[in-house]
Amino acid sequence: MPRIVETIVTTTNAKGEAHIAPLGLIADGDNWIIAPFRPSRTLDNLNEVPFAIASHTDDVRVFAGCVTGRKSWPTCTAERVPGMRLIDAVSHWEMAVERITNDQQRPRFSCRLEYEASHRPWEGFNRAQAAVLECAVLVTRLSMLPPEKIENELKYLEIAISKTAGPREEEAWGWLMEKIDAWRAAQV
Ligand SMILES: Cc1cc2nc3c(=O)[nH]c(=O)nc-3n(C[C@H](O)[C@H](O)[C@H](O)COP(=O)(O)O)c2cc1C
């Protein structure tokens, strides 16, 4: 399996409007593949404007926020390609689409790195951040996974939250739990 980096991808439509979404970038030699499921705005935007910016952030509220309807995170203009990046990024990559592999379910856009920059020091691993990322992925798959699997994974992820979360991770977890509670209520 290739390495996958979970990051915040911004794309732009033909009108110049930016869109933000968490996506996994798949290693492809020196390139990175963006593989958005159909239908999605990221997919439409990449077809309209073939550039993407990956903002690597340690603020997991951005991941949890994007999957719970909180998409308004501060951005600024990218350096070399059309589009925006997160202001609060540890580092970011600016990419140009080089090859498109079409697919009924999940087209793949192989992107060449045009520019990269670091903005502040990385502050190390934190288990609660990883737990929020895993939970954000679960939240995007609530309708696809068996409820039992979701509940079991949550039990495990909660351990890292209770032992290692700081205020940002607590807040992100709270947003995700609101979504999980609504899903639980709809089960009965
Ligand atoms: C950590 C993480 C990784 C994700 N990776 C992908 C991905 O590789 N492809 C995808 O289509 N959706 C992925 N998702 C779900 C998208 O963020 C979500 O469906 C998003 O809304 C995309 O649709 P949009 O472009 O219309 O906003 C991921 C979500 C999370 C939290």
Per-residue pLDDT 10s for the chain (188 aa) are: 999 999 999 999 999 999 999 999 999 999 999 999 999 999 999 999 999 999 999 999 999 999 999 999 999 999 999 999 999 999 999 999 999 999 999 999 999 999 999 999 999 999 999 999 999 999 999 999 999 999 999 999 999 999 999 999 999 999 999 999 999 999 87
Q: Please identify, by atom number, the ligand 1 atom nearest to the C-alpha of residue 43.
A: 25
Residue among 8, 20, 42, 175 to mutate when testing ligand 1 (max atoms within 8 A of CB):
42
The interaxial angle of helices 167-187 and 127-139, nearest 10 deg, is 30
16 burial type by CB count under 10 A (0-12 exposed, 13-18 middle, 19+ buried): exposed
Sequence-distant (6+) residues with CB within 8 A of 178 are 68
- Tell me what pLDDT residue 185 has: 96
- The finding on whether 22 has its CB within 6 A of some atom of ligand 1 is yes
Give the containing element (helix H, strand E) for 132: helix 127-139
User: Of 107, 89, 100, 68, which Cα lies nearest the Cα of 9?
Assistant: 89
CA 21 / ligand 1 centre spacing (Å): 6
- Tell me what pLDDT residue 80 has: 98
User: Of 2, 45, 3, which Cα lies nearest the Cα of 21?
Assistant: 45
- The finding on whether 109 has its CB within 6 A of some atom of ligand 1 is no
- The finding on whether 86 has its CB within 6 A of some atom of ligand 1 is no
- The finding on whether 65 has its CB within 6 A of some atom of ligand 1 is no
Query: Into which CATH architecture does domain 4-118 fall?
Result: Roll (2.30)
